[in-house]
Structure formats: C-alpha cells, structure tokens
Amino acid sequence: MKLLLQTALFFSCWATFASAQEPLFIVRDRVGTIKEGSIQRMPATNSLEMQSAEGKSFTLANPVYIARKNSVIPKLPLARTLWLLNDDCIKFENLLMKDDSFEVESLDFVSGSKTLVPLLDTKMIWLKNPLGILDPVSYRNKILGEIRAKDFVVLNNAERVEGVLESFGAKTVVLDTGTSKPEYKTDSISLVGLSSDDNSKKEQTIEVMSLVLDSGTRITLAEFNLSMGILEGKTMQGVKVRIPLSKIQHAVILGKSVVRIQELKNIKLRQVPFFETPMEAKTVKATKNSDFLISGSSYTNGFSTMGSTSITFPLDGKYQKLCGFFGFDDVEGRQGRADIKILADGKVIASWVGRTWKDGLGSLNLPLAGTKELSLVIEASLGSKINWCECLFFLAD
C-alpha cells in the first residue's frame, strides 16, 4: 500500500512538473476574447484545445493572435538566414546545396531533421552584415525588392560579384561568372542573391498561419496540424516542417474572412510630417521585412505614422470588426505624445489622449457592423512615430 501511495504521489508530482514545463500562451479570438494557458491540440484550423494554469481544459474557437506569455517577439535575423519568395525567412545553422534544393539545418525545427527548400523558391541567403554598409537593414530590403537577371554575392568589403550560383557548401561558394568560376569562402560573404526571372510567388491559400520563432525566423504555413507539442505543416512553397511548440513566440492565423488593413482599396491618407508640407496618398504603404519595434517586440506586418495624420478607410459595411496592435516606436517614438481617435462614420468609437511610449503596446478590438467609413485621426508632437501592426479587418458573416 505504501509503495502504491508513493507511486501515485510520484506520478502526480511528475504530471504537475510536466504541465509546468509547457509554455503558456495568451490567445485572442476573432471576437476579442482573451484566454491564457498551455496549448494542447489544434483539431481544426478554427479551434484550439487549451489547458488553464489550474489544469482545466477548454476549447477556444476562431483563434487569431497567439503570443508566448512574458516574452517579446524577436527581431528579424540578420545573419545566416535563408529568404523565400514570399518574404519568409529561416535562420539556419548549416546550409548545403543539393541538386535543385537547399538542405537546411535549423535549431527552430525538430532536432535532427533536415529541411529541403527548392532553389526556385529561394530569394536570398543573408550570412551577416556586410562591412562598409552603414544601414544593413535598408540594404537588405533593397535587395529583396530587386528583380535580378543573375545571381550575385556581396562580399564583406561590400564588393558585389554577379554570375550563376554553381554550388553552395557549408564552407565554400562557387559562382560561374561566364569567364571564370571563382570560389569564395562562406565567411568572406555577406549575402547571396538568387535569380528570380522565372520564379513567381505561390498563390495565396485560404487559411494560413504566420509564425515567429525563437530565433526570429518568420515562416508561413499553408497547411498545419498541432499535436503532442509538435506543429507539423507545409510552407507556402510546399516545404514540410516540424516545429516544437516551445519554439513558437508569436502566431497569427489568417482565414478567408480576414483582410489585412493594407489590402483595402482606395485608402485616403493625409500626413503632416514635422516641419514639412502635408503629403497625401491613396494607400497605406505596408512595409515588410522591417522591424516595427513596440515594447521590445518586433512585428513585420504593418505601417507607421509620423506627425499629424488622417487616414480614411472605405468599408462599405463589409466588415464586422477591426483587431490589431499599436504603439510608439521603441527607437523613434520615445519623446513624442499623441492624441488618437478612431471614428466610424464620423462617430468616435475609440480614443487615447496624451498617449506616449511609456504606455506600451495598445490593442484594437473595435466593432464595425454596418460601418461605411472608418477614420484614424492623430494629432502628434515631435518624436511620435507610431507603429500599427497586424491590423486585421474581419468580414461580416
């Protein structure tokens, strides 16, 4: 009897210990409900089975935002990174060219597994910050937007050499320039850009999961299933991946009824930068492959406003809710102050007076049923750069 009691106590303590080791997540659904706990299973793309800290099981329908508790979203990785055509990026430990694919080893994926990424789906390999380039982030963004006729390498001294990539090993890279085949040590290269003439982005699927992992890896899954602490799925390029739940820092689940704010048509924007003349535009330019820093976290889908700004979004009664995050930029917004109002058909539905960087991350959860026009109005002082990230409109049922 004593042995049975000791055994029962052991397994009870072990279950409590194991439960305590599971990462805790804060999950927000499409109607604004926020739940906290460990994630047990994802039986469908619109459902999460969770367990509270008290051990109670529950199911959350239509999850949208998933974030690790008490953590910050890491920045984009600036070294040893494989960039894909849809602007996803994978932080790697080892990279080897095999026929028409790259074999990638990454600490983000299940230990011991190797991932094959088709060469035609790869845009660029960023090894490290090149010397002689003062702003490597802007330089990287510029290269990501180029249409290239040939592959190229950028050396540590910022020299650029064009040709056709012939091989890419863990220690050396060979480039066929047409007249010669120079070999470069990988530690002498800052980045490798790949030809994209015949490449095209994969067609957007109806439901996807956009992930940020511990290392800063950004990856979008067109198919996904979570069970036993492992997220299995396929990327937009059809690459199979297995990711431990413990490696996930942040996720956004996009469905057929979700529209990113920058995807709306006929947006009217009027912005008055500090000490400058007003600027008007018909769209909000969403920036990708950049870090929007709020409260230490880094978001990569969003846009920024500086100075006094007015933005009008034509909704035509199609949407029932707006969700998202906003906050003063950690670098360029620390000194500013702003009054922010959001109006639905001229009526104020949300406002923040005298908001500053110290207020941290703010969230949007605004009902919009029947709204024909939504307006964002900002009156700001110098130093009030505000980032608006992962802002999603939900179509009315």
What domains, with CATH codes, occur in the chain? 2-68 (2.30.30.100), 81-193 (2.30.30), 258-395 (2.60.120.1060)
CA 188 from centre of chain: 29
DSSP letter, residue 286: -
What's the pLDDT score for residue 4? 44
pTM for this model (two decimals) = 0.86
In this structure, what is the dihedral angle of CA atoms 63, 237, 260, 258, given to the nearest 10 degrees? -40
Token pair listed for 171: 């220690």
CA distance 196 to 31: 41
CA distance 236 to 173: 27
Torsion sign across C-alpha atoms 258, 264, 267, 270: positive
Sequence-ordered list of residues with C-beta below 8 angstroms from that of 316, at least 6 positions apart, any chain: 372
Sequence-ordered list of residues with C-beta below 8 angstroms from that of 291, at least 6 positions apart, any chain: 75, 76, 137, 298, 299, 300
Sequence-ordered list of residues with C-beta below 8 angstroms from that of 133, at least 6 positions apart, any chain: 139, 158, 190
Token pair listed for 312: 């009008």
What's the pLDDT score for residue 16? 42
Q: Whose CA is closest to 185, among 168, 165, 199?
A: 168
Neighbours of 271 (CB within 10 A): 17
Q: Which amino acid is at 180?
A: S
What's the pLDDT score for residue 366? 95
Torsion sign across C-alpha atoms 108, 112, 118, 119: positive
User: Helices (H) and strands (E) in the chain — how many of each?
Assistant: 2, 34
Per-residue pLDDT of the chain (397 residues; tens, 9 = 90+): 444 444 444 444 434 433 446 899 999 998 889 999 999 998 887 899 999 989 999 999 999 999 999 999 999 998 999 999 888 999 999 999 888 899 999 999 998 778 899 988 888 999 988 888 777 777 877 777 777 778 889 999 889 899 988 889 888 999 999 899 999 999 999 999 888 665 444 445 578 999 999 999 999 999 999 988 999 999 988 889 999 999 999 999 998 889 888 888 888 877 665 545 555 555 566 555 678 999 999 998 898 998 888 999 999 999 999 999 999 999 999 999 999 999 999 999 999 999 999 999 999 999 999 999 999 999 998 888 999 999 999 998 7
